[in-house]
């Protein structure tokens, strides 16, 4: 079921016309469908039924409080990468025990805050971090439950900037050096090693890299047990892909079938850290056409949503479908155009060389599959306020993060005292 669809000639999010939201909230704005979020969560929940497994939502994909809360109410934990995310997860009502703290460079102060809050699991990514965490836990007089993230050196066959499981990547501990790291962890008195973690990349549309990585980690778990470690948990990470153009990502059931088969008999409790798969297709970005500029090479459709709102096309050459919010007639002619923002950079585009029905100033456009790594990666470059976020649930909608005013943005800054205007 599609939660974004034309009804009566107008694009709707569930039961609400996007044009109605635009009239009330202004453009650009992000819009999330609660129904789509729930359906995404349910797919995971159904697939892990009967397995000893839990799901921690990788909130880096979309850390809107309402989104986290919705998942939390359905039983999700949170995969976090900073104390900022930890505070957000707690504010959204996720119990600390259900939080997994990942990340390649955690500061001692962050580790301290995480231990004080009682996060359930810390995924350690280097020997240096083992030592630091041991010291911090010692200061607090407690023992930290950890897994060690290993880098299984498999090619996730995804975009170079979002692959993480190769030896060349900074993430995890090289699988060939993992036994030494576990030995070190075993010697450190304030650490309690509970398992192994991996995460091989993002936007994966094939199950083969998962299978290859799990086979390698399974072998490692055997060796670690021989070395005397008790390995109770296996954190498989996230990374499942979604549809942006014509990808055919596996279903969660297919994914879990592979995981269940490859981990059979291992006796580990499994955890998963999906981000994009839970939120990507559940969100869109809506912008308004400012003007249309015909050129001899192509036509530029300049909209009020830009690279500061959605950086993925600029950063990863990512494809996002663009649809007019008012449904075009089936026989409407199309023109070749670039959909670009008003920012002073040639890289400021949402889409290039698309065939779209002619658009005019004031038309609304919807950028599809923008729920993951959209609003969270936005900036206020060119002093453009962050786009607001809206959640639709059936026929209701609410602004879950309002648009700041430029005055808000300016008043958050300070002049150095010597630049303050002189008092008369
Ligand atoms: N766990 C760990 C340790 C991660 O590093 C990530 C994502 C996830 C889970 C969630 O991965 P997901 O299920 O969302 O693929 N900004 C990029 C994606 C960066 C992903 C970073 N790590 C993009 O827009 O494509």
For ligand 1, atom 22, name the residue with the nearest CA: 202
pLDDT-flagged residues of the chain (< 50): none
Please give the pLDDT value at position 153.
86
The CA distances from residue 345 to 81, 305, 318, 321, 382, in Å, are 30, 14, 17, 21, 10
344 catalytic? Reply is yes
Please give the pLDDT value at position 356.
96
Q: What domains are defined for the chain? A: 4-31+280-411 (2.40.37.10), 34-278 (3.20.20.10)
Please give the pLDDT value at position 2.
86
pLDDT tens, 58-73? Answer: 999 999 999 999 999 9
**Is residue 117 within 8 Å of 97, Cβ to Cβ?**
no
Please give the pLDDT value at position 138.
98
**Is residue 125 within 8 Å of 104, Cβ to Cβ?**
yes
Helix axes 208-226, 178-187, angle to 10 degrees: 50
pLDDT tens, 219-270? Answer: 999 999 999 999 999 999 999 999 999 999 999 999 999 999 999 999 999 9
List residues forming the annotated binding site for substrate: 276, 312, 316, 345, 373
Name the pTM for this structure. Answer: 0.96
**Is residue 249 within 8 Å of 202, Cβ to Cβ?**
no
Distance 132 CA to ligand 1 centre (A): 25
Distance CA 92, CA 95 (A): 9
For ligand 1, atom 9, name the residue with the nearest CA: 238
Burial class from Cβ neighbours inside 10 Å (0-12, 13-18, 19+) for residue 8 reads exposed
Q: Give the binding-site residues of ligand 1, using a 6 Å CB cut-off.
A: 58, 60-61, 79, 102, 162, 199, 202-203, 237-240, 273-277, 312, 316, 373
Distance 61 CA to ligand 1 centre (A): 7
Please give the pLDDT value at position 171.
83
Distance CA 295, CA 66 (A): 43
Distance 363 CA to ligand 1 centre (A): 33
Distance CA 371, CA 375 (A): 8
Closest residue by Cα to residue 391 from 72, 85, 84, 29: 29
Atom from ligand 1 closest to the CA of residue 159: 25
ipTM of the complex: 0.99
Distance 148 CA to ligand 1 centre (A): 18
**Is residue 240 within 8 Å of 256, Cβ to Cβ?**
no
Q: What is the mean pLDDT of the chain?
A: 96
Distance CA 243, CA 332 (A): 25
**Is residue 249 within 8 Å of 284, Cβ to Cβ?**
no
**Is residue 340 within 8 Å of 348, Cβ to Cβ?**
yes
């Amino acid at each position: 079921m599609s939660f974004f669809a034309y009804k009566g000639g107008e694009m709707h999010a569930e039961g609400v016309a996007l044009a109605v939201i635009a009239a009330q909230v202004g453009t650009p704005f992000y819009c999330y469908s609660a129904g789509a979020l729930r359906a995404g969560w349910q797919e995971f929940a159904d697939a892990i039924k009967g397995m000893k497994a839990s799901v921690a939502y990788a909130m880096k994909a979309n850390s809107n409080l309402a989104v986290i809360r919705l998942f939390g109410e359905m039983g999700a934990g949170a995969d976090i990468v900073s104390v900022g995310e930890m505070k957000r997860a707690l504010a959204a009502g996720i119990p600390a025990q259900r939080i997994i703290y990942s990340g390649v460079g955690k500061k001692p102060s962050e580790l301290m805050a995480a231990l004080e809050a009682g996060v359930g699991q810390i995924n350690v990514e280097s020997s240096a971090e083992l030592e630091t965490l041991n010291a911090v836990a010692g200061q607090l007089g407690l023992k930290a439950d950890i897994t060690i993230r290993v880098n299984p050196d498999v090619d996730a066959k995804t975009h170079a900037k979002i692959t993480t499981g190769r030896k060349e990547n900074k993430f995890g501990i090289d699988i060939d050096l993992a036994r030494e790291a576990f030995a070190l962890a075993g010697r450190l008195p304030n650490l309690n090693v509970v398992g192994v973690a991996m995460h091989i990349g993002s936007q994966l549309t094939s199950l083969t890299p998962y299978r290859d990585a799990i086979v390698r980690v399974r072998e490692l778990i055997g060796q670690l047990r021989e070395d005397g470690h008790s390995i109770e948990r296996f954190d498989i990470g996230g990374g499942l892909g979604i549809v942006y153009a014509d990808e055919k990502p596996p279903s969660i059931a297919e994914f879990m079938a592979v995981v269940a088969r490859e981990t059979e008999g291992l006796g580990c409790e499994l955890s998963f850290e999906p981000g994009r798969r839970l939120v990507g297709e559940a969100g869109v970005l809506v912008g308004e056409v400012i003007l249309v500029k015909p050129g001899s090479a192509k036509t530029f459709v300049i909209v009020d949503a830009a690279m500061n709102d959605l950086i993925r096309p600029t950063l990863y050459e990512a494809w996002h479908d663009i649809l007019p919010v008012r449904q075009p007639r089936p026989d409407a002619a199309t023109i070749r155009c670039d959909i670009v923002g008003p920012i002073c950079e040639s890289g400021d585009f949402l889409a290039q060389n698309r065939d779209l029905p002619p658009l005019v100033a004031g038309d609304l456009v919807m950028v599809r599959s923008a729920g993951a790594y959209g609003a969270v990666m936005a900036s206020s470059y060119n002093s453009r306020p962050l786009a607001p976020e809206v959640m639709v649930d059936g026929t209701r909608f609410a602004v879950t993060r309002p648009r700041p005013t430029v005055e808000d943005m300016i008043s958050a800054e300070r002049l150095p005292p010597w630049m303050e205007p002189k008092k008369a």
